[in-house]
Amino acid sequence: MTKLILTLITSLIISIASFGQTITYEDFKEVIPFLQKEDFKGAYEKTSAILNSTSNDNSDLRGIVTYMNIFSAAGMVTLDQMSYKKFKKNTKKFVGEYVVMSAHPCIDSTSNGYNSLKFKTNDNGKLEGITITSNNNNTSILCFEYFDYADKINPDDMVGKNVRCGGTLTSIETNPNQSKIWVARLRISNAFARIMTPR
C-alpha cells in the first residue's frame, strides 16, 4: 500500500498557481503521511483544503488530489467517520472533472488482486480497465474503478508494469446496502493508461 501511495507523487515535482497562491510540491507531499497511516480523515481534510484553494483546471496534480479526496472519503465511510449521505454529497461535485488515479501493477486478465489494474472485454465487446482499491488489510474495498479508454490499448504491453490511469469521472455509484464491504464504483471515460518509468 505504501508503495502504491508513493506513486501518486512520482515525477510530479511541480507547482500550480491559483487565486494568487501557489501550491508547492512540499505542500502536496504533506498529504502522503496521512494516507500511509490510513488517517483518512486527515487526508480528506488536507486534500479538501488544497482543492478549495486552487482553481479548477485539468492538471495532473489537481486530478490526483481530487482522486485522493474521493479515496479518503471512502476510507472514512469504512471507519464510520463519514456517512454514505455525506459521501454522496461531497463527491457528486467531482462528476465531470478530471481525475488521476494512483499507479498500480498491471496483472493478467485471468488473475485477481486488490490494488492492481487488469483489462477485460465488457458486455459491449470493448476493452476496459478495472482496478479494485482496498484498505491495507484488504477488509474493505474503497473503490471499484472502471476505465473507458480514449485510445486503443494493448494490455500485453502493460502486464507486469506499473500503470497510472485517469480521465473524466462520469459517475459515482455507492453501495446500495451501505455496508463496509465496498463503498463506491467510479466510472471514468476518455481515459488514459500510462506506463510509469522506474526511477
State residue 19's pLDDT score. 42
Question: What mean pLDDT is predicted for residues 39-54?
Answer: 93
Question: What mean pLDDT is predicted for residues 73-80?
Answer: 98
Q: Are 130 and 141 a contacting pair, CB within 8 Å? A: no
State residue 14's pLDDT score. 36
Joined together, the cell numbers standing for residue 92 give: 457528486
49-74 residue pLDDT tens? 998 887 777 788 889 999 999 999 99
Q: Are 99 and 3 a contacting pair, CB within 8 Å? A: no
pLDDT at residue 23 is higher than 70: no
Percent of the chain, pLDDT > 90?
73
Q: How far is CA 187 from the centre of its chain?
A: 11
| Residue 125: pLDDT band with limits 50, 70, 90 | confident
167-180 residue pLDDT tens? 999 999 999 999 99
Q: For residue 50, is it left (φ>0), alpha (ψ between -120 and 50) or beta?
A: alpha
What is the pTM assigned to this prediction?
Answer: 0.87
Angstrom distance (rounded) from CA 50 to CA 69: 10
CA separation, residue 18 to residues 15, 31, 54, 68 (Å): 10, 19, 5, 20
pLDDT at residue 38 is higher than 90: yes
Mean pLDDT of the chain: 88
State residue 89's pLDDT score. 96
Angstrom distance (rounded) from CA 165 to CA 150: 11
134-154 residue pLDDT tens? 999 999 999 999 999 999 999
